[in-house]
Amino acid sequence: MSRRPLVPAAAALLLAVCAFGAGIRLCAPSASPRTLAPPPAIQSFADFLRWRSDVAEVLVSGQEPRATFVAVLAGERMSASGPPAYAFSADGRLLDWTEDSGDGWITRWLGAGALRSLTVAEAENQLRG
């Protein structure tokens, strides 16, 4: 009975571990809090749109002049519970942002009532006043 060398088995195991690690890295979020935090110059919805072009949708709750708008980013996630989001007042002023819009953040800004979903162009028109 001959023994098989351990080198091929060890190499296969090492390759599998490396492939698994690479898979985790590829599936990991590409964003970081630093890249999601609005720079100090971002004060309005117009500033925000010049800075971020990857808005998936804008959610609105309430009626003017007390409406609140939340811009939700497409693609980037720091957390499994929700994508990054940014809250704006009815006059377009940036109120708050989060890297994780899940776990109640959107409800805190928009309430539990009826929400409307706007395209970026529709929101931009409403927030221009």
Tens digit of each residue's pLDDT (9 = 90 or more) over 98-109 = 998 887 898 889
Query: Whole-model pTM?
Result: 0.70
Q: What is the spatial distance between Cα 51 and Cα 46, in angstroms, rounded to a whole number?
A: 9
Domain boundaries along the sequence of the chain: 33-128
DSSP for 40-101, written as a single string:
TT--BHHHHHHH---EEEEEEES-TTS-EEEEEESS--SSSS---EEEEETT-BEEEEES--
Q: What is the spatial distance between Cα 50 and Cα 117, in angstroms, rounded to a whole number?
A: 21
Tens digit of each residue's pLDDT (9 = 90 or more) over 3-48 = 655 544 434 443 343 344 333 333 444 456 668 899 999 999 999 9
